Amino acid sequence: MSKRIGILTSGGDCAGLNAVIRAVTLRSVNKYGWHVFGIKDGTLGLMTNPLNVIELKTKDFDGHLMRMGGTLLGSNNKGNPFDKKQDSDKIIKNFNKLGLHALIGIGGDGSMKILQKFTKKGGINFVGIPKTIDNDVINNELSIGYDTAVDVATNALDMLQPTAASHRRAMILEVMGRDAGHIALNAGIAGGADVILIPEIPYSLKSISSHIEKIRSEGRNHALIVVAESVRRENGSRVTVKFVDGQVRLGGIGTYIGDEISKITNAETRVTVLGHVQRGAQPTHRDRLIASAFGVHAVDLIAQEKFNRIVVWQKRRVTDVALDNIAGKSKTLSKCDPLINVAQALGIYVGEIN
């Protein structure tokens, strides 16, 4: 009998999600003759009446969708249905009503933890696909969306450099990445930054200032500084913004660094907070490629009845590992990361390493 499978995107959106939904649909329908159902807005689509679920057809993907940012299924990064028992019971009950053989969940480390809990409790066959611009899913070299985010941040540095040089300024670029410095480090190297600040390595304002003064003394009139959003003030305190809805979010470290450096060096500083353009951009070829490989592999795992697995990218190929080895854990940078050595070798200040 033809199988019915479900798919949902959970957590913050990123580039490449439509490409992975496409790959799952094409593989399921073309190879196995299955029916694919897209659950809308993460698990929220299972809480509405009627359920917010659509059948996905191959013809839905014969146009522009794989090239687009965002997710046609919608997503949700607020709340955890396991905070309220009645919500998680309702989600499981409604999922079972759909008569689905398995669920493919596309999410970051936080979403995987929630989805693992939900599928274990409901006895649901589950396969995960990692996506997050933060690239912090462990045992996985590349998450969907990360490459595009690094590209956007690199492009931003490309655009900041000429204006920095024209006005003899130190430009600070604040990038996303949650508690990991992957976007900052990679874009910083690729975009020719002079200073890269990441949450994993402490820094000193005095050292940054000396570095900028050295650049100046060598005859260059401008500098580029990349700072990851969860870098703290020099005294270790977090920099956050309280929004009108009462939520506290990361943000503001760029302004702090700009102000402090300006006070010490007299340099004119300007701050760019890159924000959600890192998420909504058109996916790079690499993100589309990984998304395609992940989608096909996830469907093949279901065909082989291999569940509670997450597909990952390791050594230039797609493979899979047990979800227990991933969910709720996260991958940050180590001081010994080879790219930290590269940055240092290029004369970039990356914090107080020794």
Q: Which of 305, 306, 312 is nearest to 327 (CA)?
A: 312
- CA gap 318, 99 in Å, rounded: 29
Residue 340 near ligand F6P by CB under 6 A: no
Name which position in 41, 109, 134, 337 contacts ligand F6P (CB under 6 A).
134
Residue 240 neighbours by CB distance under 10 Å: 15
- CA gap 314, 111 in Å, rounded: 21
DSSP string, 36-82: EEEETTGGGGGTSSS--EEEE-GGGGSSSGGG-SS-TT----S--GG
Residue 107 near ligand F6P by CB under 6 A: no
Residue 2 near ligand F6P by CB under 6 A: no
Pick the closer one to ligand F6P by CB: 6 or 130: 130
Q: Torsion angle, CA of 292/298/304/308, rounded to 10 degrees?
A: 160
Name which position in 114, 250, 261, 290 contacts ligand F6P (CB under 6 A).
250
Name which position in 176, 208, 231, 350 contacts ligand F6P (CB under 6 A).
176
Least CB distance from residue 257 to ligand F6P, whole Å?
17
Residue 199 near ligand F6P by CB under 6 A: no
Q: Which of 341, 242, 297 is nearest to 106 (CA)?
A: 297
Least CB distance from residue 273 to ligand F6P, whole Å?
11
Question: Strand, coil or helix: what is 126?
Answer: strand
**Residue-level length of the chain:** 354
- CA gap 299, 35 in Å, rounded: 12
Site for ligand F6P in 8-27 (CB under 6 A): 12
Q: Is 134 an annotated catalytic residue?
A: yes
Query: Which amino acid would we find at residue 153?
Result: A
Least CB distance from residue 6 to ligand F6P, whole Å?
23
Residue 279 near ligand F6P by CB under 6 A: yes
The answer to whether the beta carbons of residues 102 and 24 sit under 8 Å apart is: no
Query: Which amino acid would we find at residue 157?
Result: L
Residue 310 near ligand F6P by CB under 6 A: no
Residue 188 near ligand F6P by CB under 6 A: no
Residue 178 near ligand F6P by CB under 6 A: yes
The residue of the chain with the least Cβ separation from ligand F6P equals 176
> CB under 6 A: which stretch of 83-91, 127-135, 217-225, 262-270 binds ligand F6P?
127-135
Least CB distance from residue 279 to ligand F6P, whole Å?
6
Q: Which two tokens stand for residue 202?
A: 């402490």
Site for ligand F6P in 280-309 (CB under 6 A): none
**Residue 169, beta-bridge partner list:** 268
Residue 109 near ligand F6P by CB under 6 A: no
Which one of the listed residues 13, 109, 134, 147 is annotated catalytic?
A: 134
> CB under 6 A: which stretch of 33-41, 98-106, 131-139, 285-293 binds ligand F6P?
131-139
Query: Which amino acid would we find at residue 117?
Result: K
Q: Which residues bind ligand F6P (CB under 6 A)?
A: 12, 77, 108, 132-134, 176-178, 229, 249-250, 279
> Mind telling me the catalytic residues?
134
